[in-house]
Amino acid sequence: MATGIKDKVAIIGMGCTKFGERWDMGGEELMVEAFEECIADAGIEKKDIGAAWFGTCLEEVNVGKTGMPLSTTLRLPMIPVTRVENYCATGTEAFRGACYAVASGAYDICLALGVEKLKDTGYGGLPAPGSGAGSLSWQWWPNLSAPGSFAQLASAYAAKYKVSDQDLKRAIAHISVKSHDNGLLNPKAHLRKKVTEDQVMASPIIAHPLGLFDCCGVSDGSACAIITTPEIAKKLGKKDFLSVKALQLSLSSGEEMGYNEWDGDHFMTTTKCSIKAYEEAGIKNPREEISMMEVHDCFSITEFVTMEDLHISKRGEAVKDVMDGFYDLDGGLPCQVDGGLKCFGHPIGASGLRMLYEMYLQLHGRAGERQIENPKYGLTHNLGGFPFQNICSISIIGKYNS
């Protein structure tokens, strides 16, 4: 019988670059920057790493399709390197591979690294449809834009729960303001500038009701983690180390696009994936037990809807919780404590590991001005694709319980 991954793997080191318009560096240099911090934090040598998982999404305009860029750039000791890609959940997918390898007993110590170099591709920071994402864009999404599809999510939510246009825009504006406030406290964040709700509300509309400040930017960056077993972590002299409590992944089956039961106001994958994650972690009441979250705020409405899909806010009540400040840094359950995709940035292959990096800092008490008091569990959530066809990845980490 499957027993899950709870407390079977320990995170002993993490690293993350500054995200942003890194014109001075290529993908390889970003990988080195993240790795140097990570291995120093872990206190091991490269020869101790038994295998690695390498996450990149848009490989044609980035570092390539194989695991070779990681192996050659970091001069790894001729070990197995597996390249993975799962849309915006790519970084977490690399982490999942490393965790499962250690939990299975196949390797003692593994590396997970994600990277994306997007800012100098020539198409608003992203490749043209079909060039980096494969032929799927041309075959299935010929007229699709990301802002447009997520704006439809916002409209569907407002219609279902009878939220006025003004109230919805005010709530998602509060989310954007919160992310900017938190990003201002983070020296590695891409966007570090305070904004007001009035500024967000008055910004140019990209796809109604989403304005300029409701959309995350395009960034370069890399993040990584070193994973081992709790037993080896103890032998290395690690104290109060972190362990993985849950790792869950859910992919759309086609139900959303193919049938009429889904009304377009939420993410079916997140709704189901989160239940499995809480069960694996042994969490009964996530609203009370989760200390902080990093969720996939590619657009402010995505974060908003995710609050309900994660079973934190009740259906139709996210507006109240957001406006009451429940998800603010000093609220009941802080969300996007490092600025989120919105302000830390979104280099696709790195984002999942970047989220875990913030949880890692917070749980070790290293987050500086944005430090949360006595956090117990940190949750990360990635969403790849679009509302009607997507990938959801959820991780929960916390202090190791022997």
| Catalytic residue (choose from 16, 38, 57, 88) | 88
Local confidence band at 132 (pLDDT 50, 70, 90 cut-offs) = very low
pLDDT at 341: 97
Q: What is the mean pLDDT of residues 221-242?
A: 96
Q: 142-217+246-399: CATH homologous superfamily?
A: Thiolase/Chalcone synthase (3.40.47.10)
pLDDT at 145: 81
pLDDT at 141: 56
Residue of 201 and 125 predicted with greater confidence: 201
Local confidence band at 127 (pLDDT 50, 70, 90 cut-offs) = low
Model confidence at 137: pLDDT above 70: no
pLDDT at 63: 85
Segments making up each domain of the chain, as ranges: 10-139+220-242, 142-217+246-399
> Does residue 215 have an active-site annotation?
no
* DSSP result, 111-133: EEEEEE--TTSSSTTSPPTTTSS
- Closest among 268, 270, 242 to 254, alpha carbons compared: 268
Local confidence band at 128 (pLDDT 50, 70, 90 cut-offs) = low
CB-CB contact of 159 with 209 (8 Å): no
Dihedral Cα 160, 162, 163, 166, nearest 10 deg: 120
Q: Which residues have CB under 8 Å from 211's CB, separation 6+?
A: 169, 200, 201, 203, 204, 205
pLDDT at 257: 79
Distance, in Å, from the CA atom of 138 to the CA atom of 134, rounded to the nearest integer, reads 8
Q: What is the mean pLDDT of residues 270-275?
A: 97
Q: Which residues have CB under 8 Å from 21's CB, separation 6+?
A: 119, 190, 219, 220
Q: Count CB-CB contacts under 10 A for residue 134.
A: 13
pLDDT at 3: 86
Local confidence band at 256 (pLDDT 50, 70, 90 cut-offs) = confident
Model confidence at 124: pLDDT above 60: no
pLDDT at 115: 97
pLDDT at 154: 95
Distance, in Å, from the CA atom of 171 to the CA atom of 173, rounded to the nearest integer, reads 5
pLDDT at 58: 82
List the beta strands (DSSP E) in 164-203: none
| pLDDT, tens digit, 9 for 90 and up, residues 321-332 | 999 999 999 999
Highest mean pLDDT among 6-20, 118-132, 146-160: 6-20
pLDDT at 135: 44
What is the rounded average pLDDT for all residues in the chain? 93
| Catalytic residue (choose from 190, 266, 346, 381) | 346
Q: Count CB-CB contacts under 10 A for residue 154.
A: 28
Q: What is the mean pLDDT of residues 68-82?
A: 97
pLDDT at 122: 54
Q: Which CATH architecture has domain 10-139+220-242?
A: 3-Layer(aba) Sandwich (3.40)
* % of the chain residues with pLDDT over 90: 84
* % of the chain residues with pLDDT over 70: 94
Read off the pTM: 0.95
User: What is the biggest distance separating any 2 CA atoms in the chain, rounded to whole angstroms?
Assistant: 59
Model confidence at 348: pLDDT above 60: yes
Local confidence band at 217 (pLDDT 50, 70, 90 cut-offs) = confident
> Does residue 273 have an active-site annotation?
no
Residue of 41 and 133 predicted with greater confidence: 41
Model confidence at 134: pLDDT above 60: no
3-state helix, strand, coil in the chain (%, to 5): 40, 20, 40
